[in-house]
Structure 1
Amino acid sequence: MIKTIVRTLVPRIPREGYLDLTYRCNNNCRHCWLWTPDNEKTRKDELSFQELKDIVDEARSMGCNRWLISGGEPMLREDFPEIFDYITSKSVSYSLNTNGTLITSEIAQLLKRKGSKMIALYGATAEVHDYVTRNPGSFDATMRGFANMKGAGAGFIVQLVPMQANYHQFDDMVRLAASLSKTYRVGAPWLYLSACRSAARNKEIIGQRLDPKDVLAIDSPSRPGEETAAEDPGCGKVGADGRLFAGCIEGKRDFHVDPYGQLSFCCYVKDPTLRYDLRRGSFADGWEKFIPSLADKVVADEEYFRGCGSCYHRADCQWCPVYGYLEHGRFGAKVEYLCGVARETEKYKGGWRTNHRRYYGVGGMTICVESDLPLKDNTFNEKLDLFRVEGPGADNVGLRHHFSLPDIGGKDLGKEIYRKVPWAIYKKGNSLIYLEISVDKDNTTPNKVAVFSQDHAKGDVYHRDAKVFESGDLMALTTFPTDQILLAPLLADRRGLIMHSAGMVINGHGLLFIGHSGAGKSTTVTMLQDEGEILCDDRIIVRRQDDGFRIYGTWSHGTVPIISPDSAPLRAILLIEQSAENRLVPVGRGEIVRALPKFVVKTVGTESWWDHAFSMIGQLAREVPVYRLRLDKSGAVKSVIRELVEPPASIGSGAAKERV
């Protein structure tokens, strides 16, 4: 079972601010839960530019360095350029949500500022898009917005918003999004009811909700059997004491400010008693006193305990008290639509193990490979089938494939620790972020993004699209040019190395044949093929176990397409030399220590990794006999090898003797 440890809570500092500039919008979308009409009263009630600046400055003084700007349509505010300029100049990064219809060439120039810009798309055609928005011409206006962004060289993400009105052309929406930008994402595939609790609007929103099966098709749930790390560890989790929001408030390091200066811990909180008026008090008072006080304010009632609190499907359900309030005006109320999604989630997870998950054993480790798309018989090259196992082992590694790039624009990726095409690697907290970069310096969008835990025991690989994956016959589980990028650091924590070598098991003994390219490793194991089992002719894993060193086969073969997942105790290391004779010549420890490093398969070589590698080489020199294997191509070397793999007493554990 794969486990992900939820990170330790950091001090309660307001790191991120969600800011809705307005709930007015030039569109009037059929699914929207926040829309208000654009009139004098709604404009008058909104925060002024000066009030916004004061909030931003005070939040910044307490640690806020990222803002997520949204609406309504934020660009309906005439002072949007000034607001945007001020907020982004006071932030390390930002995110902006817009429908794109008001992006002029001048605003597009402003949006070149590094950050994440998400532009909504409601249909693949004007007919469908404008039906959703109830704003004739909105599709054409959005397309002009995209064009202006491209013309300015401002990157953006296309955000697809699925619902009943457009789901019949969802695939076309995806294709259109891919043609507009290198990056797209899918918005929440289920819809919230209106914040104003309008019966007519809620009826329309309910009519736009997708069938629960379609929700699962768009937004796959967490992997079965896995505890996923959460951005907000307590979000949506109700403790045994029944305080509905205590865990969420204690875990959050972000906040929400609505257009009218009302502060709370979540953008979905619409109960006015759970919001703090920043026009009447300070941000510090709201963050440090008011929000923490809400942890005890809302307590579960009988409705919750008899419903969601005791439901069998609770672990698979997206229910949260705020959704209960939006749906029924009661925090403990269940959301029937989410009950249906939860039931489908349970079915989905049951089928996941068959269609989306496989296990592979290599080097004494079990790698669980999962994919958001189904894994087919031809997804990976047939050579990898030899390494498939039925399920988890004693030492498990998790790897999952996704098929759209994450939004990293303007985000702090941490400290760059390596940069050499094709990889740039960053370290942030307990994570390592790999970007597959281009030789073209002007191309700043990575082809792949991989996020690994610091020990590489859990990783997520994000592909730009599914083309390569769906073409099949992949040679590596990671889909990288080689799996050594993953295996080498994993082995460093497991007293192991990958050696540029060939390996065989003969008479129960593991033999490691080492030599430079062209030295004859493949030729040697081919001559010895009838004597035992070839593990691989080019890459062999060497690990120090409690009872000594062992070698393991890998799928990274050379000219000999024979591989095996088997392993054996390492009997000897043989440095291949072409000769007119066939014999073994012992090698002294000093020479071994000098010779072996050049045959170690290197990962991104950090100082700690090299310390590990040299320590392993020193152990090998002390514990494993090393010989120069002088041989010709006659096949007479077989008798030399047979004598070597006789019972260990024939050679002894002391100084090796020369054998002819």
Structure 2
Amino acid sequence: MHELIVAPFLTDFLVLRPGSTRGLKVPQHRYLELQQAARNRDPFPAWLHDPVRAQWGVDLTGRSANDALLVREVSEYGYARASYEINLGCDYDCPHCYLGQKKFEGLPLEKKAHLLDIMRTAGVVWLQITGGEPLIDRHFAAVYARAHELGMMVAISSNGSQLAKPMLLDCLTRRRPYRITLSVYGATADTYDGFTRNRGAFNRFVRGLAAAREAGLPVRLNIIVSDTNAHELDAMKALADAHGFPHQVYTNMSPTIDGSGEPLPTQAADYLRKRKPFTGCNAGHTFFHSDPFGRASICKVGRDPHVDLMREGVEGLRRLGGIADSLMLRTGGCEGCSLSGTCWTCRPLAKLYQEAKAQRETYCQHGGR
């Protein structure tokens, strides 16, 4: 099992260690030197010893580069990041969920592995595995292990309900993730179980937090504030602090991915935050999202048009940049807007709000005007 990865990342070359947020940047000629050392089974070059020891406490003395280093090839497609909805199914039934109807659907394991191979060829170094709830997918452990073997830095977005299970803990401690992001829906069983509409969910979540802390897993908490749990905001923050995990607070709900507005009434009006101006993103150009069937889109929001990677293969990604540019055009009532340079939302998200018939002030600076 490799201990280090050397990988092209956009215009840079990085030395990474699975499970660590730290990295080293090296020039291209050093990347090529490491590539050659791994091919020839040569020892690690001397110039790398001290930086690796200082960064991660790893001693490379006398070790073959081939034994401990995985070298990622330069990709002609230029995608550095991706997210993968392994399954839309979930063991919770939260009213705020952007997924809407949650079906347990997806690819068989061999096609999941093929999708990961396509992502590797596309150049993906950072991969987020999400859902639904990814940890309940029967193929999660195999998919996670495969992504790790391909030299990806894997992040997981989860509700944490399964995190205390020994099999999953063993999977995540043997091949450590880059980050695990867990959503928090309450600080008491009554509130948490009521929000998730799942009896016993809070106790499973807290056991997961304790197990993750004991295992030293890199957890970050997303505190989700709604009209039914806002009274426990300070207690949710205290829960995060008690476990020593950093946290972020989210208050603004989005429509479902099919433009339905069910999540919007769950917002806690007194806690809504003014969004920062949207200044552009690399969605569709250096990042893409895949749904459970291998349909690649520019992101989780702008899902159509999409590219069927199972049918077209990696070559289909060459069309994604053009799709991204077309989706970002100001259309559907936004043409010629004098405030477009400081708009709060990207065009695909604004379109979902419009389809959900949301109040304009929730996504537009014009408000009720």
Output the TM-score relative to the length of structure 2. Answer: 0.70
- Which of 22, 30, 49 is matched with 2:87 structurally? 22
* CA distance in structure 1 between the aligned counterparts of 2:193 and 2:88, rounded to whole angstroms: 19
Answer yes or no: is the 8 Å Cα contact 1:319–1:334 preserved in 2. Answer: no
**CA-to-aligned-CA distance 1:129-177 (integer Å, 9 cap, x gap):** 1111111111111111112223333231222111211111101110111
1:191-590 equivalences in 2 (<5 Å): 191-198=253-260, 202-203=261-262, 205-211=263-269, 214-216=271-273, 221=276, 234-235=280-281, 249=284, 252-271=285-304, 274-283=305-314, 285-296=315-326, 299-301=329-331, 303-305=333-335, 309-311=337-339, 314=340, 316-329=342-355, 335-339=360-364
* CA distance in structure 2 between the aligned counterparts of 1:85 and 1:136, rounded to whole angstroms: 31
* CA distance in structure 2 between the aligned counterparts of 1:65 and 1:28, rounded to whole angstroms: 32
Answer yes or no: is the 8 Å Cα contact 2:350–2:363 preserved in 1. Answer: no
Unmatched 5+ residue regions in structure 2?
Answer: 1-9, 12-75
* CA distance in structure 1 between the aligned counterparts of 2:126 and 2:324, rounded to whole angstroms: 24
Letter in 1 for 2:86: L
* CA distance in structure 1 between the aligned counterparts of 2:143 and 2:283, rounded to whole angstroms: 30
Answer yes or no: is the 8 Å Cα contact 2:328–2:348 preserved in 1. Answer: no
Q: Please say which structure displays the higher CA radius of gyration.
A: 1
Letter in 1 for 2:265: G
| 1:267 Cα deviation from its structure 2 partner | 1.2
Structure 2 residue 94 is the aligned partner of structure 1 residue 36: no
Indicate how the Cα distance of structure 1 residues 301 and 334 shifts in structure 2: closer, same or farther if over 3 A, else same.
farther
Answer yes or no: is the 8 Å Cα contact 2:160–2:183 preserved in 1. Answer: yes
* CA distance in structure 2 between the aligned counterparts of 1:143 and 1:167, rounded to whole angstroms: 19
**CA-to-aligned-CA distance 1:43-78 (integer Å, 9 cap, x gap):** 3xx122211211221221232111011110001211
1:572-611 equivalences in 2 (<5 Å): none
Answer yes or no: is the 8 Å Cα contact 1:128–1:166 preserved in 2. Answer: yes
Answer yes or no: is the 8 Å Cα contact 1:126–1:137 preserved in 2. Answer: yes
* CA distance in structure 2 between the aligned counterparts of 1:316 and 1:190, rounded to whole angstroms: 18
1:75-154 equivalences in 2 (<5 Å): 75-103=135-163, 104-112=165-173, 113-154=176-217
Indicate how the Cα distance of structure 1 residues 186 and 297 shifts in structure 2: closer, same or farther if over 3 A, else same.
closer
Indicate how the Cα distance of structure 1 residues 12 and 60 shifts in structure 2: closer, same or farther if over 3 A, else same.
closer
**CA-to-aligned-CA distance 1:203-227 (integer Å, 9 cap, x gap):** 4x1211232x6233xx7858xxxxx
Percent of aligned pairs with the same amino acid: 22
* CA distance in structure 1 between the aligned counterparts of 2:183 and 2:331, rounded to whole angstroms: 39
**CA-to-aligned-CA distance 1:246-281 (integer Å, 9 cap, x gap):** x864xx41110011211011111133xx11112221
Letter in 1 for 2:280: G
Answer yes or no: is the 8 Å Cα contact 1:263–1:277 preserved in 2. Answer: yes
Letter in 1 for 2:169: A
Letter in 1 for 2:271: D
Answer yes or no: is the 8 Å Cα contact 2:88–2:132 preserved in 1. Answer: yes
**CA-to-aligned-CA distance 1:441-464 (integer Å, 9 cap, x gap):** xxxxxxxxxxxxxxxxxxxxxxxx
What's the secondary structure of 2:78's corresponding residue? coil
Answer yes or no: is the 8 Å Cα contact 2:280–2:346 preserved in 1. Answer: no
Answer yes or no: is the 8 Å Cα contact 1:324–1:334 preserved in 2. Answer: no
Answer yes or no: is the 8 Å Cα contact 1:323–1:335 preserved in 2. Answer: no
Answer yes or no: is the 8 Å Cα contact 1:120–1:161 preserved in 2. Answer: yes
* 2:6 equivalent in structure 1: none
* 2:246 equivalent in structure 1: 183
| 1:329 Cα deviation from its structure 2 partner | 3.2
Letter in 2 for 1:96: I
Letter in 1 for 2:333: E
- Which of 223, 229, 247 is matched with 1:160 structurally? 223
Indicate how the Cα distance of structure 1 residues 336 and 270 shifts in structure 2: closer, same or farther if over 3 A, else same.
farther
| 1:335 Cα deviation from its structure 2 partner | 4.1
* CA distance in structure 2 between the aligned counterparts of 1:79 and 1:25, rounded to whole angstroms: 14
What's the secondary structure of 1:17's corresponding residue? strand
* 1:619 equivalent in structure 2: none
Q: Which has the higher strand share?
A: 1
Answer yes or no: is the 8 Å Cα contact 1:24–1:73 preserved in 2. Answer: yes
Letter in 2 for 1:148: A
* CA distance in structure 1 between the aligned counterparts of 2:154 and 2:360, rounded to whole angstroms: 32
* CA distance in structure 1 between the aligned counterparts of 2:145 and 2:207, rounded to whole angstroms: 22
What's the secondary structure of 1:24's corresponding residue? coil
Q: CA RMSD in A?
A: 2.9
Indicate how the Cα distance of structure 1 residues 257 and 220 shifts in structure 2: closer, same or farther if over 3 A, else same.
closer
Letter in 1 for 2:101: T
Output the TM-score relative to the length of structure 1. Answer: 0.41
Letter in 2 for 1:286: G
* CA distance in structure 1 between the aligned counterparts of 2:247 and 2:328, rounded to whole angstroms: 38
Indicate how the Cα distance of structure 1 residues 79 and 94 shifts in structure 2: closer, same or farther if over 3 A, else same.
same
Q: Relative contact order, CA 8 A, sep 6+: which one is greater? A: 2
* CA distance in structure 2 between the aligned counterparts of 1:255 and 1:209, rounded to whole angstroms: 28
Q: Which has the higher helix share?
A: 2
Answer yes or no: is the 8 Å Cα contact 1:24–1:35 preserved in 2. Answer: no
Answer yes or no: is the 8 Å Cα contact 1:47–1:259 preserved in 2. Answer: yes
Answer yes or no: is the 8 Å Cα contact 2:296–2:306 preserved in 1. Answer: yes
Answer yes or no: is the 8 Å Cα contact 2:275–2:344 preserved in 1. Answer: no
| 1:21 Cα deviation from its structure 2 partner | 0.6
* CA distance in structure 1 between the aligned counterparts of 2:97 and 2:230, rounded to whole angstroms: 16
| 1:302 Cα deviation from its structure 2 partner | 6.5
